[in-house]
Structure 1
């Protein structure tokens, strides 16, 4: 894509300035040096000539754009807060359709730069990146730290080959590895920084072992559910890392840690029925602190709200762990009712689990999101409140 230039009416500098201004307004770009990185590592060099674009916010372009069909639309979409789909269904699908499981992308700038700012790479840092994708973030890391210190691992050989070509065209040459990112790269350890671009529920100990004491790991932590959290860990020693959360950020999951949505509501006749005074609307737009505790204590569960015919409902479904049929639950409450009707099916009672976790959050005084943190060590992953030595919960994933 290096020989393609913006059409009349657009300039590269204008596109960069407009994108940077948008990111600053949304609070996604607070360090001015990363605007220089946008210019030094041009995003269009990592975008296919035709691609499906997903918007990261209302008003951003969405849909299929091709540079030879609609150059204005394509350039505008590339330099907007969009994710650019590179692959679907691990290569078996059509990435131009916008359908199927998105399995590789050029992540949206509004997601990329908050992670890079948390990582805070410095010149001379040794950096391990998990998930090369298009190569764009590997290029940004190389610009910030120097290419000789960057190692980037990609599990998919075809995606990795395209990334190598993209990076070469952009003038960067980090070490690219095709393999399992959960194993890290022990022969290049120890690292100062680990940058993870895939959703993770179980944090591999290899990343901690291969990071120097005082080093930093940033990743989207998915806690066993669909919603991810931007997590910054500081490594204490080769077995322990401690960190805090910095907002939500949902990513494509690490392939070995994916969950598939299951819904088996046809088993109504075998379901358990009860009532509750807890309103299903309680879980609509729930406080982030409550969400975090619920995600940690109620593993492999997704939920969404429904309002139909005057009734409010919350539907819960188990995310596939490849055993049995799965479980589901629903809480329905009509406006005039004093209680909600609860229906649950499967070995797990999902409504009971979720409502118990929520009540625990309330009993703690409804703590805010910024009071929670995480410790990872050989004994497991533990969520804590206020400080690592205080109240903590072992996270089940």
Structure 2
């Protein structure tokens, strides 16, 4: 065992993994095992690291402190760690991502599209969760982060990394689309890329007052939607223009959303809670296709 600063790193990593597994809300031993096996510090660059300490709900302009040393125990906890402090890009809160992962529950053999891969840490987690025979297609718009992700993900099976804007590029047919940037309205082709029963989870930010994760599942004739936990992320380039909103919900009405429609398939009706150019959100429920896995 490696002892750093009087603390056994393996014990800290195991405790961290147990907490992440608990945060998924699932009784699935894969999560603890994978969070323990994938070393977070390997995706953060050399320490000491910059950790965000300003409350994450209030602003993208956070205050940071530097860890006392390059001891990995400092980042094996539920903290935001800067990847590019000047741009406000961080490796996200592990417990929030664990909750995201528990909500979509990736399975072996699934095809995952990861939008906003950063340096690849959660891409690696997704790749492990989709073993055996899974594929993860990661997209990263920042050229420097893309280069780091490409190198970091070499040891992981079934992973490809693309440098580019996922709001413009075609996505592969996917069982899961996992988005790590705040979205005003998901592009229509993201929804169309979902296979029957496929899930998409993204941080929805249609206004300054509304910021939470949204889970969308492709059904027989429509897409079911479920508002989840609060989630504040850096805006997604190409999908974060508030001018897209023709009708914008308040926090109370946003929580009533139960389905999403493509405007090319169906015009907004009286059930519309939020309306955008290509998609609209309704408070009327639909029945999704059961996910097999």
TM-score interval, smaller chain: 0.7 to 0.9
Q: Which moved more, 1:15-24 or 1:147-156?
A: 15-24
Which has the higher Rg, Structure 1 or Structure 2? 1
Distance in 1 (alpha carbons) for counterparts of 2:140 and 2:42: 19
Counterparts in 2 of 1:47-62, with a 5 A limit? 47-50=44-47, 51-55=49-53
Distance in 1 (alpha carbons) for counterparts of 2:51 and 2:177: 27
Distance in 2 (alpha carbons) for counterparts of 1:298 and 1:233: 18
Partner of 2:280 in structure 1? 382
Partner of 1:112 in structure 2? 97
Ranges in structure 1 where 5+ consecutive residues have no aligned partner:
94-100, 261-294, 300-356, 362-366, 390-397
Partner of 2:208 in structure 1? 225
Quick check: 1:35 aligned with 2:32? yes
Aligned partner (choices 245, 248, 258) of residue 230 of structure 2: 248
Distance in 1 (alpha carbons) for counterparts of 2:258 and 2:13: 35
- Give the superposition deviation at 1:208: 1.4
Question: How many residue pairs are counted as aligned between the two chains?
Answer: 262
- Give the superposition deviation at 1:6: 5.4
Ranges in structure 2 where 5+ consecutive residues have no aligned partner:
57-62, 268-277, 288-293
Distance in 2 (alpha carbons) for counterparts of 1:29 and 1:6: 31
The C-alpha deviation readout for 1:83-132, integer Å capped at 9, x for no partner, is 111114xxxx3xxxxxxx41x22111011111111221111111111111
8 Å Cα contact 1:199/1:221 also seen in 2: yes
The C-alpha deviation readout for 1:163-186, integer Å capped at 9, x for no partner, is 112223x54561000111113544
8 Å Cα contact 2:120/2:153 also seen in 1: yes
8 Å Cα contact 1:191/1:210 also seen in 2: yes
- Give the superposition deviation at 1:47: 1.4
Distance in 2 (alpha carbons) for counterparts of 1:162 and 1:155: 12
Structure (1 or 2) with the greater helix fraction: 1
Quick check: 1:70 aligned with 2:69? yes
TM-score when scaled to structure 1?
0.58
Secondary structure class of the residue paired with 2:167:
helix
8 Å Cα contact 1:184/1:210 also seen in 2: no
Partner of 1:204 in structure 2? 187
Call closer, same or farther: CA 1:152–1:24 in 2, change over 3 Å. Answer: closer
Quick check: 1:127 aligned with 2:125? no
Partner of 2:197 in structure 1? 214
8 Å Cα contact 2:206/2:248 also seen in 1: no
8 Å Cα contact 2:181/2:236 also seen in 1: yes
Partner of 2:79 in structure 1? 82
The C-alpha deviation readout for 1:296-328, integer Å capped at 9, x for no partner, is 9557xxxxxxxxxxxxxxxxxxxxxxxxxxxxx
Partner of 2:14 in structure 1? 17
Quick check: 1:167 aligned with 2:153? yes
8 Å Cα contact 1:184/1:206 also seen in 2: no
Bigger relative contact order (CA 8 A; separation at least 6): 2
- Runs of 4+ in structure 1 off by over 3 angstroms are 20-25, 27-32, 55-58, 170-173, 183-186, 257-260, 295-299, 379-386
The C-alpha deviation readout for 1:7-35, integer Å capped at 9, x for no partner, is 1422232112332444467x455443211
- Give the superposition deviation at 1:259: 6.3
Aligned-residue CA RMSD (Å): 3.2
Partner of 1:372 in structure 2? 257
8 Å Cα contact 2:210/2:254 also seen in 1: no
Call closer, same or farther: CA 1:190–1:28 in 2, change over 3 Å. Answer: closer
Q: Which moved more, 1:222-231 or 1:202-211?
A: 222-231
8 Å Cα contact 1:56/1:82 also seen in 2: no
8 Å Cα contact 1:195/1:218 also seen in 2: yes
Quick check: 1:142 aligned with 2:127? yes
- Give the superposition deviation at 1:233: 0.5
